[in-house]
Amino acid sequence: MDTANEKGVFVLSVQDYVKYMTQQFTKFIDTPPDEKKPHKPQHTNQPIYTNRWLGLLPFAWKLMMNKTD
């Protein structure tokens, strides 16, 4: 069963964890593919990661390199 340790965090026994994971897995397998589809993330127009992480400089460098080709 669930018991709280000295920090107040609940700890599951291995048997409870395996039981939970088995239930989740069978629930996932039993759902038809049509119902699984809406749960998949939709592709959106996300920014390029180099721009997001490093700013405009990598984008400007890439444009400069493409112009010279």
How many angstroms separate the CA atoms of 11 and 1, rounded? Answer: 8
Containing domain of residue 58, as a range? 3-68
- What integer pLDDT is reported at residue 23 of this predicted model? 95
Give the total number of structural domains in the chain: 1
- What integer pLDDT is reported at residue 63 of this predicted model? 84
| Residue 47 near residue 39 (C-beta atoms within 8 A) | no
DSSP conformation class of 6: T
- What integer pLDDT is reported at residue 27 of this predicted model? 93
- What integer pLDDT is reported at residue 52 of this predicted model? 65
String of DSSP letters for 16-56:
HHHHHHHHHHHHHHHS-HHHHGGGSPPP--PPPHHHHHH-S
| pLDDT by 10-residue block (mean), the chain, 69 residues | 64 86 93 75 64 72 78
